[in-house]
Amino acid sequence: MRDAACVLLSQDTNRAVVRTSWLWKQVREQRDKVPWHRLIWFSSHTPKHSIITWMALLDRLPTKSRLMRMGIIHEDICLFCEAHESREHLFFDCGFSMTIWKCVLGKCCVQRDVLHWNEEVQWTICCLKGKSLIVLILKIAWSCFIYLIWEERNARQFRSHARSVEDIVEDIRFVVSVKLQSKCIDRADPVNAHLCNTWGIL
C-alpha cells in the first residue's frame, strides 16, 4: 500500500486533483454492483441492520455450521428448533423465523409461502423496486428481520434470554413506524392508508 501511495503522490501527480475521493477511486478495487445493493443501502436504512444483512448476504455471519467447519465448535444445533444452524436454515427454513417473516408479509397483504434463502433473496431483488410505500416498508422490515433474528439467536446463545415471535414482530413494526414517521405519504391512496394503519405510521 505504501508503494502504491508513493506512486500516486509522486512529483508527477497533479496536486489539483488530489482529493480524498480521487485517492479512494485510485486505490480501491473496482467491481460490478451486486444485484442486492439497493435492498440494504437506501435512504431509510438502519446502518446496524444493513451491516448484519450485508454479512448474511455474503454468508459471513458466524453461524454454527461455519464455526463447525472451521473446527471452532463441535455441534451446530439451532437454538430455535434443534435442526442444523446454517444461514439458509436460520433465516427462512427455521419454523421460528419463517413464522416471523410470514407475519411481516401478512402485514403488507402479501399472501404467499415463505421461500428458502436464495428464493427469498431473489424475490426481494425482483419485487422490492421503486419508491412505493409498500416497497419501502418491506425493505426496512427485511433488513430489520435479518438483524433481529441474528440478535435473538445471540441472546439465546450467550445470555439465555428468549423472546417470542410476537415480540420480534412488534419490534419490526416499531422500527418501520419510527423510520417512516416523518415521511411524506399519500394517505388518500387506500393501500397507503391501510399500510399506515397496520404498521402504526403516524
Q: What is the per-residue pLDDT for 33?
A: 85
Q: How many other CB atoms sit within 10 Å of the CB of residue 179?
A: 21
Q: What is the per-residue pLDDT for 128?
A: 96
Q: What is the mean pLDDT of each run of 10 residues along the chain (202 residues)?
A: 58 63 76 90 94 97 96 95 96 97 97 96 96 96 98 96 97 97 92 96 91
For residue 60, CA distances in Å to 9, 56, 114, 126 come to: 35, 6, 23, 23
How confident is the model over 172-184, as pLDDT tens digits? 999 999 999 988 9
Q: What is the per-residue pLDDT for 32?
A: 84
Q: What is the per-residue pLDDT for 15?
A: 59
Q: What is the per-residue pLDDT for 165?
A: 98
Round to whole Å and give the CA distance between 76 and 85.
5
